[in-house]
Structure 1
Amino acid sequence: MKVKVALVQESPVFFDKQKTLEKVATLMRKHANEGCQLIVFPESFVPGYPRGFTFGATIGKRSKAGKELYAKYYNNSVLLDGNDLAFLEKLSKDCGAYLVLGISERIQENGSIYCSMAYFSPASGLLGVHRKIKPTGTERIVWAEASGESLVTFNTRIGKLGGLICWENYMPLARMAMYQKKVELYIAPTADSRPEWTTSMQHIALEGRCFVLACNQFYTKSMYPEEYQHLVANEDEDICPGGSVMVSPSGKIIAGPLFGASGTLMAELDLDEIHQGNLDFDVVGHYARNDIFNLKINNQPEMLDETKDSL
């Protein structure tokens, strides 16, 4: 089976949920019209990754201005219920394409926000959400951490989807949680724009014998609205140069890495390459040595099977 994929390396309308969702819709329609069946957006694309912000937090102290900024971020985070959910499900359905969207997700029940990756199907709507199980460094100021229930995977009409966000991909056991489900399209939205990230994505593709789709924002300091410029005064102008990349199961780069510009990487992926690669290495098959190693993952859901008529 062949699947045409788009990785969107763009900038959000920073801290404005509604305008950023409208931008997502414009880009989604454009690439769906170009024949893309899966369209992927970067980490925390809605309403933007708050790079360089401290939210007024130091050890033992939080400022009033920082709390007010957090409240604004909270209010512009996506609620996967009501209008936000209806908008995104309709968008995927109208475009006839799968959508994987990096969001800051607001949870009404517990008042927290999570760095999340939401999966939408044109036929089934919201398939599920992966929430970051370990926010990196001071990301923990604003984002809560999720549990094993968040390690979701999906058997869809375009292949088996799953993935991890940014530096979760450096967690070997988290990667194994994806490999054990035989994920074919491994999606890795990120905020890491270092050249070394490309090497990591090549390693994951080789290790998991899967296609790796790593998508980042392109953002410069000048793009921040005037009201936030003082918060990033000491940052470099090229605050996030991108680096989106697609890698084959043999570790070969298919498209990208794209640095220094907005743009979209597109490619047609032949899923049969995965089975070809398994001849000499299969991380959970003939190379697994289950007589020696045993990995238990607490509360990881079974792979949701969209291909069953009952869904």
Structure 2
Amino acid sequence: METRENHVRVAVVQAAPVIMNLPETMEKLRSLTSDAAEKGAKLVLFPEAFISAYPRGLTFGSKIGSRSEKGREDWYRYWESSILVPSPETDRLGKIASDYGVYLVVGITEKESMTGTLYCTVLHFGPDGTLLGKHRKLKPTGIERLVWGEGDGSTLPVFETPYGKMGSLICWENYMPLARMAMYSKGVELYLAPTADSREAWQSTIRHIALEGRCFILSCNQFVTKEMYPTDLACYDELASEPEIMCSGGSAIVGPLGNYVAEPVYGREEILFADLDRSHIVKSRLDFDVNGHYSRPDVFQLWIDDKAKTNTK
């Protein structure tokens, strides 16, 4: 274990991918990581499903009881722009992390080599380029369940870093009390929450989690407009009723007493920076420590099934 450091500059990248274009998305990610590193960031977080799209507004031609051929064409395009883990694409992400000397955390759409199933996944890379591990979303929300499978308890890691323990939950997983408790039980200090939720109510969620977990929380969303979508999608007409700004952002960084370290940003792409002081975590736990003197293990017990299921390796 490296020597612990009390201070770290972090970056939250509020940006959209080049939708369903894997090579151009990878290059945009490299460029944004470079920008963050040049300003001193040691941890760089990208949004949910940055590679290579959160397919907001699309139904892939699906209704209860039927699917269209045009929808299957768009689904195939989406699948093709997703990535295997490991793969040459994850090797490149690792190289980006090592080139810029950062912990790189990226939301991806992950595909399996032996199935057609996709997963909403977060990859964690160390500054030496090592793929530290991944987290697969446990419960896709609503119609997300059409395009993403469910993860299992084998991908709920928390990683040691010189700046504190780092872990992630994706979007509405953060409304699952036991999923949060799993993170707290592993001692998470840098709690990463890539999301697709730009509602004002989401701000209440991340501030509550920071207070509850007495941790720093980095929430990262995309800024997406309708004009960013490729117009040659087979089901492009599905977007006709969507607003011009399809996701307004709302990325933010919150300290362990629930106060903003970096205020939420809306309406544009931007990299948010914050200088975090790990001593604030310890100070905040004077009166509340969810995994310590407030845990009451004599009353409550948490059991986590961390075994991989055969279809979600």
TM-score, structure 1 normalization? 0.94
| Equivalent position SS for 2:145 | helix
Say whether 1:285 aligns with 2:285.
no
Is contact 2:163–2:278 with CA below 8 Å preserved after alignment?
no
| Equivalent position SS for 1:156 | coil
List aligned pairs for 1:220-239, cutoff 5 A: 220-228=225-233, 229-239=236-246
| Equivalent position SS for 1:212 | strand
**Paired position in structure 1 for 2:170:** 165
Is contact 1:186–1:211 with CA below 8 Å preserved after alignment?
yes
Structure 2 counterpart of 1:166, one-letter code: C
2-structure distance, mates of 1:284, 1:256: 27
Q: Which runs of 5+ in 2 are unaligned?
A: 1-5, 309-313
2-structure distance, mates of 1:232, 1:52: 6
1-structure distance, mates of 2:95, 2:163: 19
Is contact 1:41–1:100 with CA below 8 Å preserved after alignment?
yes
| Equivalent position SS for 2:83 | coil
Say whether 1:177 aligns with 2:182.
yes
Structure 2 counterpart of 1:292, one-letter code: V
Say whether 1:276 aligns with 2:278.
no
| Equivalent position SS for 1:54 | coil
Give, in angstroms, the shift of residue 214 of structure 1: 0.2
TM-superposition CA deviations, 1:218-275 (whole Å, max 9, x none): 0111221222442211111121000001000000011120011110110110011111
Is contact 2:97–2:104 with CA below 8 Å preserved after alignment?
yes
Give, in angstroms, the shift of residue 158 of structure 1: 2.5
1:200 pairs with 186, 191, 205, which one?
205
1-structure distance, mates of 2:286, 2:129: 34
Pair 135,87 (structure 1): closer, same or farther in 2 beyond 3 Å: same
Structure 2 counterpart of 1:293, one-letter code: F
1-structure distance, mates of 2:128, 2:19: 30
Give, in angstroms, the shift of residue 159 of structure 1: 1.6
Q: Which runs of 5+ in 1 are unaligned?
A: 302-311
TM-score, structure 2 normalization? 0.94
1:186 pairs with 188, 191, 195, which one?
191
2-structure distance, mates of 1:226, 1:251: 42
Is contact 1:97–1:122 with CA below 8 Å preserved after alignment?
yes
Structure 1 counterpart of 2:213, one-letter code: G
Is contact 1:151–1:300 with CA below 8 Å preserved after alignment?
no
Give, in angstroms, the shift of residue 81 of structure 1: 2.2
**Paired position in structure 1 for 2:247:** 240
**Aligned residue pairs, count:** 301
Structure 1 counterpart of 2:50, one-letter code: F
Structure 1 counterpart of 2:305, one-letter code: N
Runs of 4+ in 1 over 4 A off after TM superposition: none
Give, in angstroms, the shift of residue 300 of structure 1: 6.8
Give, in angstroms, the shift of residue 124 of structure 1: 5.3
2-structure distance, mates of 1:82, 1:295: 35
**Paired position in structure 1 for 2:142:** 137
Say whether 1:22 aligns with 2:27.
yes
TM-superposition CA deviations, 1:32-83 (whole Å, max 9, x none): 1211000000000111110000011111211111111111111100222231
**Paired position in structure 2 for 1:4:** 9
1:87 pairs with 77, 84, 92, which one?
92
Q: Percent of aligned pairs with the same residue?
A: 50
